[in-house]
Amino acid sequence: MSAAGNARPLELAEFPVRDLRFGGTLQYAGGALEVAEAELVELASRDPRILEAGLDIVRPGERVRVTGIRDVVEPRVKVGGDAQVFPGITSPVVPVGRGRTHRLSGMTLLTTAAYEGTIRTGTTAQRSAILDMWGPGADLSGFSRVPSLVLNLRLPPDLIEAEAHQVIQAAEYRVAQRLAETTATAEPAAVEMFGVAHGDAQLPKTVVIVGCITESEHLPSGLGYYGLPVRESLATVVHPNEMMDGAVTGNTLKTIAYYPTTWDWQNQPLAMRLAREHGRRVDFVGVVLQRIRFEAFREKEVAAHNASQVARALGAEAALITWLGSGNAFLEVMLTVRACEEKGIRTVLVTYEYGGQEGTDSPLLFYDTRADAVVSTGSRDRILELPPADRVAGAYRELQVLNYPGAPVVSALDTITLDATDAIIGGTDLWGGRDWTCRAH
pLDDT tens figures, 122-149: 777 788 999 999 999 999 999 999 999 9
pLDDT, tens only, 23-53: 999 999 999 999 999 999 999 999 999 999 9
Contacts of 141 (CB under 8 A, 6+ apart): 131, 424, 425, 426, 427
The DSSP secondary-structure symbol of 95 reads -
pLDDT, tens only, 314-350: 999 999 999 998 888 999 999 999 999 999 999 999 9
With a pLDDT cut of 70, the percent of the chain lying above it is 94
pLDDT, position 438: 59
Q: How confident is the model at residue 359 (pLDDT cuts 50, 70, 90)?
A: low
Quick one: angle between helices 37-44 and 161-180, nearest 10?
150
Q: Show me where the domains of the chain are located.
A: 10-423
Q: How confident is the model at residue 108 (pLDDT cuts 50, 70, 90)?
A: very high
pLDDT, position 14: 98
Cα–Cα distance for residue pair 120/409, rounded to 1 Å:
15
What average pLDDT does range 387-393 have in this prediction? 97
Cα–Cα distance for residue pair 95/389, rounded to 1 Å:
44
The answer to whether the predicted template modeling score (pTM) of the entire model surpasses 0.85 is yes
pLDDT, position 360: 63
Cα–Cα distance for residue pair 278/261, rounded to 1 Å:
25
Q: How confident is the model at residue 436 (pLDDT cuts 50, 70, 90)?
A: low
